[in-house]
A = this chain, B = another copy of it.
């Protein structure tokens, strides 16, 4: 953070004065993450100029740290040979992340620039479904033959270790490629060098399946507290590893997407800070227009009860309280369920239990709120209004809460995204329910008091 603010003016001066040699000499001594952060603060032209003067290896690192729109910009402004160098320098998981976001046409062009081996690997990784663990895999891991001695294994690791993303955990693979165990490098380093590796194994290991959704992997990592997990196919063949730094990104991105969806903002794909006005408009307008339709029904509901409203005008003044409370309780319930599904805390086996508990919770909340509403109704209207408002409050709060609980569960059951049960959607639907419940109860109560509404 500091570097960016300190260096930005100086770098800008140098870039604008065309003193690119000095820019290169200076940046060559800086760590990649700082340079990546600095690049995002430059304008497009300066960003391209500055990136192109970076030494080869540093450029590779910086490129892999940039967000997609910046990567895209740089690729568009580089000669073919430069593009080839940069994408060849990416690690397999970073390359897949780039390719999956670019238009198919561009990806095809880029694939053509890779070596045969890299292209084959990229195509294999891209063949896993979007959002799957397979697409996060890297091949930079180390395996050891269970029959070798610790000394042989360590020598093997010394020779092969340069390129691996993590050496903390070593994987044990049989002759056919099946994953049979894992072992900590630590355990081998402190073991007697003459021991056979097989004698150090415990037969327990955690692994991911290549077709699993990447958000499930977050919970597996949390459970095992490991820095990397091996990925296998249905036959148990070791395909690659996934590292926890990518999983931290998955967790943060998935949470951000769910936040946005819960507020009816479509996924931005880019940081909020860098989003353009047009992009934000497009990502926000869809649901807002959609909810207009829901709101029309509420309006129609109110119109149905116009006579009741004209008879007891105090009812209208209390309407926002009633329909608002149902929506708020529903928003709480929906958010609790959506987040619990996302973190894997609850599965379909828990639904009936959760639904029963929600009925209990919302009944308690409804009764407590009805107490407050009763006095308000009495103050603003009369005893009739007080009774109407109290009865409606219990019903509306329970109805809103159950809707907020059931809708995300239902969406999940239908293999749709539970976060589509957004707070504005729940609130708007609670409005309709609220109006219908409120004025129906009003009509009934007023009729009971022999003061017909019409």
Q: Which residues of A contact B (CB under 8 A)?
A: 30-31, 33, 37, 65, 157-158, 161-162, 164, 166-168, 185-186, 189-190, 204, 206, 218, 221-227, 244-245, 247-249, 251-252, 255-256, 258-260, 262-265, 271-273, 277, 280-281, 284-285, 287-289, 291-292, 295-296, 298-300, 302-303, 306, 309-310, 313, 316-321, 323-325, 327-329, 331-332, 334-340, 343, 345-346, 350, 354, 357, 360-361, 364-365, 368-369, 372-373, 376, 380, 397, 423-424, 427-428, 431, 435
Residue numbers in B under 8 Å from A345 (CB-CB): 271-273
Pick the contact of A258 from B259, B265, B319, B357 — CB < 8 Å? B259
Residue numbers in B under 8 Å from A318 (CB-CB): 299
Q: Decide: A424 near B376, CB < 8 A? Known: A247-B248, A346-B273, A360-B277.
A: no
Q: Which 7 A-B pairs have the closest CB atoms?
A: A263-B335, A255-B255, A298-B320, A299-B317, A295-B321, A272-B340, A328-B424
**Cα distance A428–B334 in the bound complex, in angstroms:** 18
Q: Decide: A302 near B324, CB < 8 A? Known: A245-B226, A262-B335, A284-B365.
A: no
Q: Is the CB of B427 within 8 A of A324?
A: yes
Q: Decide: A285 near B320, CB < 8 A? Known: A33-B224, A204-B31, A225-B245.
A: no
Residue numbers in B under 8 Å from A380 (CB-CB): 299, 303
Pick the contact of A319 from B30, B285, B302 — CB < 8 Å? B302
Smallest Cβ distance from A420 to chain B, in angstroms? 15
**Cα distance A335–B258 in the bound complex, in angstroms:** 10
Q: Is the CB of A206 within 8 A of B33?
A: yes
Q: Is the CB of A292 within 8 A of B372?
A: yes
Q: Which of A299, A354, A373 has most B Cβ within 10 Å?
A: A299
Q: Is the CB of B189 within 8 A of A284?
A: no
Q: Is the CB of A245 within 8 A of B245?
A: no
Closest to A423 in B: B423
Q: Is the CB of B428 within 8 A of A280?
A: no
Q: Is the CB of B288 within 8 A of A325?
A: yes
**Cα distance A65–B206 in the bound complex, in angstroms:** 15
Q: Is the CB of B428 within 8 A of A324?
A: yes
Q: Is the CB of B252 within 8 A of A244?
A: no
**Cα distance A189–B189 in the bound complex, in angstroms:** 11
